[in-house]
Amino acid sequence: MPKIDTAEEVLNVAAPLGFDAQAIPIESICTGQVEVPKQMLQPEAIRARLAAPPAWHPEITDENRHVIAADIIARRQAAGKVTRAAVLIPLVLQSEGLAVLLTQRTNHLRDHAGQISFPGGRMDEGDKDAIDTALRESQEEIGLSADHVEIIGCLPEYLTVSGYSVTPIIGLVKPQAEYVLDEFEVADVFEVPLCFLMNPENHQVRVWESAQGSRRFYAMPYENRFIWGATAGMLRNLYHLLKV
């Protein structure tokens, strides 16, 4: 009798335990793609763009395609699992320009262990909406006060292989003197200049060959940090919105 995948097994088909994304070969670098105009990297310009976005199309990654093809979210829902989540894309108002605040997840977590992520997580029953979720999770994970955040918009939902439909919420953030980390979930917090992340010359396409076939994913290495997967995919959508 053939083995029947459970919801939990389906969620883990994307990457084996100990998967090293940095070891995956680079297929290409996005050199020559349209650059984001420098003026679009200013707080006022981003606020205006999100308030009245032009016609644009989010990028569908191989991760998104796999989630849809494997029906991962529907299986998770059928098993009674939470599938809605939200993250905050915190654009920190630094004197030298906007920076993106990111977290390094601890190595023992079940989903996306050790990866670089935005602060955020699953939607709780008490959350009114995705903004509530993103702000609550940011407070819990890194001690980011909601009083320091001006919500200016959101990006389209992003589907992850861990079985979540994630709403990226974008906020302008006043710098905090320090961040109080949830040591169970967050190993570190750091900033990357927005101009670096929005430069397509810093966007790599890597191809992982597995038993399930080829899987392409984006990576944006910065100094000693390796930003990839869903985080890089959401940053690519921010890039597509701002480049128009």
Three-state SS at 139: helix
pLDDT digits (tens, 9 = 90+) for 89-115: 999 999 999 999 999 988 655 555 568
Give me the chain's average pLDDT, please.
Answer: 90
Residues 6+ apart with CB under 8 A from 68: 159
DSSP assignments along 31-46, one per residue? TTSPPPPGGGGSHHHH
Given a contact cutoff of 8 angstroms between Cβ atoms, the answer to whether 63 and 216 are in contact is: no
pLDDT digits (tens, 9 = 90+) for 28-59: 999 999 999 999 999 999 999 999 999 999 99
Q: pTM (2 decimals)?
A: 0.91
pLDDT digits (tens, 9 = 90+) for 123-157: 999 999 999 999 999 999 999 999 999 999 999 99
